[in-house]
Chain A
Amino acid sequence: MSKRILSVLTENRAGVLSRISGLFSRRGFNIDSLAVGTTEDETVSRMTIVVNGDDYIIEQVSKQLNKLIDVIKVKTLDDSDIVSRELALIKVAANSETRSSIIQIVDIFRAKIIDVSHETLTIEMTGSAEKHKALFDLLEPFGIKEVVKTGMISIQRGTNYINK
C-alpha cells in the first residue's frame, strides 16, 4: 500500500463530486484527501485526490473514474515530478507568555499569523504534509484548538501540464 496522487479533470457541473466520492466508497477505495476547484477554463474542475492503495487499486480507481461520463481526464502523478501544497488554518491557544514563542516557530516555518485574540493565534500555513506535521508537533504543547485543511493540491514541475 502506498499513497498516490491523482489529478482528475471533470465537467464543472452539479452532481459530479457526489458521483466521484460515491465511486470511492462503493468500490471500497480509500481517499486520503480530495481537493476540488475550477481551472483556467471555468467549465472544467480539477480534483486532486490522494488515494491509498497498491498498483491494482490505483489502476482500478483510475479506470473507474475514467468511466464516469463527466470525467474528462485522469492522470496519476509521478511523485518525484510534482509540486504539492496543502493549506492549513490552525488556531492555537496563546497568552502573553507563550505568544512570542509561537510567533518564533511560525516565522521559522514561514507560516503566517492571520488572526489574533487575547487567548488565541490563528496561523496560516502552506506546505507539504511533512512540513504540516512538523509545525503541528511543535505547536501541540501550546494547545491546538482547531485545525482546518484544504487537502493537497498538486501540479507537475516544469513545462509539463495536463492536456484536456
Chain B
Amino acid sequence: MTGAKALIKMLENEGTTVVFGYPGAANAPIYDELSRSSIRHILPRGEQAAAHEASGFALASGRTGVCMATSGPGATNLVTGIANAYSDSVPIVAITGQVPTGMIGRDVFQEVDITGAVAPFCKHSYLLKSARDLPQVVKNAFHIASTGRKGPVLIDIPIDVLNEEFDFEQPKPVNIRGYKPTVKGNNLQIRRVREALSKAKAPLIIAGGGVGYAGANAVLAKFAEKYKIPVVTTLMGINHTALCGDLLVGMIGTHGVSAANIAVKRCDLLLVVGARLGDRAYTTVHSQNSDAVVVHIDIDPAEIGKNIGTQIPVVGDVKVVLEQILKKDIDCDIASNERWLKSLTELRNQKREYSDKKTFINPRLAMKVLSELTGGDAIVATEVGQNQIWAANNYKLSPKGGFITSGGLGAMGFGLPAAIGAKVALPQKTVVAIEGDGSFQMSMGELATIVQWNIPVKMMLFNNSRLGMVRELQKTTYKSNYFAVELDGSPDFIKLAGAYGIEGARISSNAELKDAIEKMLKGDTPYLLELVVDSEEGTL
C-alpha cells in the first residue's frame, strides 16, 4: 500500500474518528485516501482553527485530537495552535505534508522546516524519510501525545513518502527507551505528604489542569472531602474541580478571586496538584509567600522546583499518587481544617452586588444567568481577555459541564474553534463559546465551518467595542493613554451571523438576559447572542 493509505489505516487503528484539516498539494495523497475512509473530515476556514479545533476536541473528550495541513503556509498556520497545545498540555497530533525528500533544503515552493519551527513548543516531532517507518511513527506519536505530560506531536511527511508503495506491517508495541514517564509516586515522599498533612492546621490544595489529564477529578474531590481541605484552582484547573463542591474557593492569580489568593497567603501547607503555577497564577501574585510547606505533585519532574520552591516533591500521575496517599488514613486535625475552610467560605460567599447600568449588560451577571439556565452542565469555551476572566470567575460549573480555555498561551482566536472541536467530540452537549469582540474577529471565518458541517455551537459575544483587557492595562499602567485598543470598523455581528444563516440577537440591558439566554439555548442550532458591555467595565 502507499504511505498515505498506511497513514489513514494507522489513524483508524488509533481510534481517530475525526480530523480537522486543510488540503494542499503536498498532502493531496492523504486527502485522496481520506475520501475513501470512514474518518470524518472537517474543513475549517484556516489551519490555525484546525489546530484549535483538535485541541477543543481533545479537551472535551480526553481523546487525542488530530489536525492536518499542507506544507509551507499550511504548516506555519498550525503553529499557534501547536504552541497553545504545548502550553496547556493538550494531546494533539498534527500531520503536515512536506515537499519531496529530494527537494528538502532547496527552498522549493511551499517548503518550510516545520519540525524546526515548532521545536521549542512541541512535545516531539518526526520528519519521515520512508513509508516503512510510518506505522511505528504514527503509533509512537499518539502514545507520546497522550501519555506522561500530554502535548502536541507533529509528523511531517514528504509527498514522495506518502506516494511510496511498501508492504504494510503492524507496528510493534510502543517502546521508546528515552520516554518512560514515572507514574507511581515515591513511597518515602508519600509518607512525608501524610506527615505534613497530619501537622497542618490550614492545608490548601491548588488544583491545575493536570488533575483532569490524569482523570483524577473524583479522587481529588474524595481526598479533599475526607480531610476537609479547601481547594483553589488555576485557570486550567477550573475544568476539573466541580466535584469539590463547597470546598472550592475559586481561582487564584492575577485575575483570580481574592478569597482564593488570601487562602494561598494564609495556608500552612500547600498541596500543588497537577499545576505548574505559571507567573499569572502564582509567582507574580504570591512571590513573598510564605512559610507554608509546599508539596508538589506532578507527572513532569521538570515542573517541580521550577516556579515554586518545594519541600516535598512527588513525581507521578496525579490520580495514582492521590490514591497512594489515600491508602492509609491520616491523623489530621479535622476540626482545625474545618475552621480554616469556614473562614475561607465566608470570604468567598461575601455577597456580590451586580451593578446595573441601564444601557449595558453586566457580564458577570450574564455568566451567572448562563450557569443557572444550563445548571452548569454546558461546556463553555472562552476566548482571551476580559471575557475569559468573566467566564472563569462567574460560570458555576457542574461536574457534567466543561470549561475550556487558552491558559498558558492566552491565544486570542482560540475560543470559537475550541467550541467547535468540543461540539464535534460531544454532539449531545450544549457548547457555548464565550467571545470577545476582538478575539471573535480573529476566528469568525469559522461561522462557515459551523454551518457547513452542522456544528451547532452557541456563541455569547461580549461586545465592549474594545480590546478590553489591553485597554485596562493602558488605564492602570500607562496613565489611560489609550492606543490601538478601539475596535471601530467591527461589523454588525448579528447581520454577519445572519449572512451565514445563523440566528442571533443583541441585548443591552440586564433585564433582557434571562429571556435572551433561554432563547439562545433553545434547540440544537447555532446562535449568536451579542451582549453590549460598557467599555469601562473592569475585569475583576
A69 touches B176 (CB 8 A): yes
Chain A residues near B144 (CB, 8 Å)? 69
A68 an interface residue at 8 Å Cβ cutoff?
A: yes
Q: B179's closest neighbor in chain A, by CB?
A: A69
B176 touches A19 (CB 8 A): no
For B115, give its contact among A15, A56, A69 (CB under 8 Å).
A15
A60 an interface residue at 8 Å Cβ cutoff?
A: yes
**How far apart are the CA atoms of A160 and B302 in the complex, in Å?**
26
**How far apart are the CA atoms of A70 and B153 in the complex, in Å?**
13
Interface size on B, residues (CB 8 A): 17
A71 touches B178 (CB 8 A): yes
CB distance from A55 to the nearest CB of B (A): 10
| Mask of B284-305 contacts with A, CB within 8 angstroms, 1/0 | 0000000000000000111001
| Mask of A49-90 contacts with B, CB within 8 angstroms, 1/0 | 000000010011001101111111100000000000000000
Chain B residues near A69 (CB, 8 Å)? 123-124, 144, 176, 178-179
B302 touches A64 (CB 8 A): yes
Q: A164's closest neighbor in chain B, by CB?
A: B177
A15-B115, A69-B144 given; A10·B302 CB < 8 A: no
For B119, give its contact among A14, A22, A67 (CB under 8 Å).
A22
For B120, give its contact among A22, A70, A71 (CB under 8 Å).
A22
- Contact residues of A between 11 and 53, Cβ < 8 Å to B: 11, 14-15, 18-19, 22, 26
Interface size on A, residues (CB 8 A): 22
**How far apart are the CA atoms of A126 and B100 in the complex, in Å?**
45
Q: B123's closest neighbor in chain A, by CB?
A: A69
B519 an interface residue at 8 Å Cβ cutoff?
A: no
A26 touches B120 (CB 8 A): yes
A72 touches B178 (CB 8 A): yes
**How far apart are the CA atoms of A67 and B181 in the complex, in Å?**
9
Chain B residues near A18 (CB, 8 Å)? 116, 119
Chain A residues near B123 (CB, 8 Å)? 69
Which 5 A/B pairs are nearest by Cβ-Cβ distance?
A: A63-B302, A69-B124, A72-B178, A69-B179, A26-B120
Residues of B within 8 A of A (CB): 115-116, 119-120, 123-124, 127, 144, 176-179, 300-302, 305-306
- The 23 listed contacts between A and B (C-beta, < 8 Å) are A11-B177, A14-B127, A15-B115, A15-B127, A18-B116, A26-B120, A59-B305, A60-B302, A63-B301, A63-B302, A66-B301, A66-B302, A67-B300, A67-B302, A69-B123, A69-B124, A69-B144, A70-B178, A71-B178, A72-B177, A72-B178, A73-B178, A164-B177
